[in-house]
A and B are shown apart, each in its own frame.
Chain A
């Protein structure tokens, strides 16, 4: 059995895809691409797919991860291209490696997010960010199915900084861009919660919903405050000692 790890995106309008929607679409893409999937045993066999840490509905992502189990070996790059072609544009498969290490999920300890706040002056955002970072804790509330929950949104935030209006935006409309690095903790602190926190500490209230995108997910480097590519260890393991694998026949 071969295991392949994939990085995929939720771009543009398809960021409104829920995780359940993505799962159905992905399983259909596996069929269209005729991937030799391994199936679970049991009354209703399911293709073996493990999803890690999906981004919330409505947020874009450049870095979602999953792992599939195959009954026959496939070249990861060709498989990536086939699957990508079988999915709607916006749900793009952008990276594939054969799993040669354990614990992909263990390497996803933090995320880097970009939050575009259209209609917000960068200076205003800057002040709110400063207030947020200065606070010891920032209590926020989230409405879940079983009621309103209150928790701290500050501790999980490793980094939060402001950038000015980007070049690709018309200058007549202010737009602040936040870059957020947040640890994966329980209960999860999402970009939404950080926005609630900014509102709580500094009354920051964007006039339109923020456009939120996950830029990266991976192992948090505590010193630099960056995250590392979680597929890198698999790639390194592949190029290192496994001699002769380059000549191995790769079907389809």
Chain B
């Protein structure tokens, strides 16, 4: 990390500029987005480079990076700049011409920053981290870094099991980042102000002893003869046995992003996003996001209204996305949707609710959302094809509910319904998956009946299930890619073979191979570092992209590296774990009680469902007492008032009632 005497850090833009005419979509590398910030280097003493390790078009809209960028830049004496993965065309030119990994804000070399923070939504970004490190001139492995290298920090959902990248990162933070980055900034600032006593190890130690920053190098992993982990032990005193996740309470106090970035380049989400709540306690057993983000914390209806208003002014976006893990579950969603639709009716602002449960959907809400626009498609995710599967995964949506909901939608003018499913769930058989076809046929049958039209469609979209850490399915065997593919082929044949409904049903599926690599990495341990490095050195990049991902390369590298430790890919993926096994992420505390997770796993096998603690008594998942948090939900009873009084009617008195 940079020395305490700020040296002049020059922009690498002049060197980069000469390369840009030769690459695709050069605009993604030049920065200058509306609402971006470039602070004078010398005016700051703690400097963060934030990376979303994927292409700019995917990384720029990422809310996590955008939030931390703004939270940090608001601080006096702190700057944050962003960097993204460069495409292979620019990577080759940068290597040829010696241009280092740069930030898009100040075009400063990433190596000059104090912290290089990476947000991992998925494990498939790991190879991109290695590309960025090497381009930056930062040693790939933590142990080889010196005093002037940045602290390489991992965050995001995948950081809840950072063990596969333990060799490459210096630190990991799990949970909400807003306060965590400020706490880290204070510690780094104090250490720098003192003249960096004790070097790199000292600052990492100061971070570790807070209990909120995981430093992999301060833990030793011991293994049993059969390859399982014996224990994970701190290797110095003062380092806690377990590292806690961070939880931000009262989202209204954190209305970020206030000034969302507006890119010039085209990106995957071109809208103003407002997170309407964080966390989910529906308890779907496959869902890592729902498990690790507890408890539910709602943003108030008025807080949402303010963010939308300010955000639209700051950006000029024409669509507002109300984000959360299950947006229709907000206690005041109907008033939020109606209030926003009323406010922006004349401004042609579209509203979208990206995650809607079948059982929380109602047609009034959907009508508000589509007041101005199209009724082209609705998307639901029953996830499991059979009633039995939905009990196993605790996604309590009955077939009757689904058919009723879908019928209402078709009856109200929607022409297309998309249904998402997973294949390879625990205890699943061919029969469970084939019932997806039956469900789709019933949807079409009902749809034709209520709409009186034959041109309605239903698309079945299905992918392989990947068991994730910190969920009740963390012990479950993953279905092999061969079995996944065979099961999907049977489903496809059943759908295509149906004369009456087959033509109205679209079928989209992902083959089982990428899921195996994701599964290998998501439940992996430190011994996978060698595999990741081998894949990277073999040219592995952009593993989340079909055109770049190579299953063959991953398997070849795994077959070369894993036998050295007596293991193979199946051991990590299709093997079922037992109660007593030490899992690689057990020392990372998501607040979930491991015994509760085990009981929930046993309940899954018994097809026993669990309710949502927002509406029923606490079922002791452990998060609130362990993390000293609580559920924060409405209703507040407030409404969104019109922003301007129309038709020159007298303004209503605040909180006034007509008598």
Report if A145 contacts B (CB, 8 A): no
Q: Which of A12-20, A99-107, A128-136, A165-173 contacts B (4 or more CB under 8 A)?
A: A12-20
> Nearest Cβ in chain A — how far from B600, in angstroms?
46
- Say yes or no: A30-B316 contact (C-beta < 8 A), given A14-B32, A58-B21: yes
Are A32 and B30 in contact (CB-based, < 8 A)?
no
Q: Which residues of B contact A44 (CB under 8 A)?
A: 373-374
Are B317 and A28 in contact (CB-based, < 8 A)?
yes
Are B32 and A58 in contact (CB-based, < 8 A)?
no
> Nearest Cβ in chain A — how far from B352, in angstroms?
15
Report if B321 contacts A (CB, 8 A): no
- Closest B residue by C-beta to A91: B264
The size class of the interface chain B forms with chain A is: 20 to 34
- Say yes or no: A58-B26 contact (C-beta < 8 A), given A14-B264, A90-B32, A209-B18: yes
Are B34 and A21 in contact (CB-based, < 8 A)?
no
Are A13 and B32 in contact (CB-based, < 8 A)?
yes
Are A89 and B20 in contact (CB-based, < 8 A)?
no
Q: Which residues of A contact B34 (CB under 8 A)?
A: 25, 28, 87-88
Report if B315 contacts A (CB, 8 A): yes
Contacts across chains A and B counted by CB atoms under 8 Å: 71
Give complex CA distance A36, B373 in Å: 20
Q: Which residues of B contact A18 (CB under 8 A)?
A: 25, 27
Are A14 and B313 in contact (CB-based, < 8 A)?
no
Are B316 and A13 in contact (CB-based, < 8 A)?
no
Q: Digit string of B468-487 for contact with A (CB within 8 Å is 1, else 0)?
A: 00000000000000000000
> Nearest Cβ in chain A — how far from B31, in angstroms?
7
Are A88 and B264 in contact (CB-based, < 8 A)?
yes
- Closest B residue by C-beta to A28: B316
CB < 8 Å: which of B17, B20, B315 contacts A32? B315
Are B313 and A13 in contact (CB-based, < 8 A)?
no
Report if A29 contacts B (CB, 8 A): yes
Are B17 and A13 in contact (CB-based, < 8 A)?
yes
Q: Digit string of B242-271 for contact with A (CB within 8 Å is 1, else 0)?
A: 000000000000000000001011100010
Q: Digit string of B21-65 for contact with A (CB within 8 Å is 1, else 0)?
A: 110011101111110000000000000000000000000000000
> Nearest Cβ in chain A — how far from B257, in angstroms?
16
Report if B318 contacts A (CB, 8 A): yes
Are B30 and A43 in contact (CB-based, < 8 A)?
no
Q: Which residues of B contact A208 (CB under 8 A)?
A: 18
- Say yes or no: A17-B262 contact (C-beta < 8 A), given A89-B32, A208-B18: no
Are A88 and B32 in contact (CB-based, < 8 A)?
yes
Q: Which residues of A contact B30 (CB under 8 A)?
A: 13-14, 16
Interfacial residues of chain B within 308-367, with CB under 8 A of chain A in the complex: 312-318, 347-348
Report if A31 contacts B (CB, 8 A): yes
A27, A28, A45: residue with the most chain B Cβ atoms closer than 10 Å:
A28
Are A13 and B13 in contact (CB-based, < 8 A)?
yes
> Nearest Cβ in chain A — how far from B629, in angstroms?
38
- Closest B residue by C-beta to A33: B316
- Closest A residue by C-beta to B373: A44
- Closest A residue by C-beta to B20: A16
Are B374 and A21 in contact (CB-based, < 8 A)?
no
> Nearest Cβ in chain A — how far from B82, in angstroms?
15
- Say yes or no: A13-B31 contact (C-beta < 8 A), given A58-B21, A86-B316: yes
> Nearest Cβ in chain A — how far from B593, in angstroms?
47
CB < 8 Å: which of B20, B266, B373 contacts A24? B266
Residues of B within 8 A of A (CB): 13, 17-18, 20-22, 25-27, 29-34, 262, 264-266, 270, 312-318, 347-348, 373-374
Residues of A within 8 A of B (CB): 13-14, 16-18, 20-22, 24-25, 27-32, 39, 43-45, 57-58, 86-90, 208-209
21 A-B pairs within 8 Å (CB atoms) are namely: A13-B31, A14-B32, A14-B264, A16-B26, A17-B264, A21-B264, A21-B266, A28-B316, A28-B317, A30-B316, A31-B347, A32-B313, A32-B314, A32-B315, A43-B374, A44-B374, A57-B27, A58-B26, A208-B18, A209-B21, A209-B22
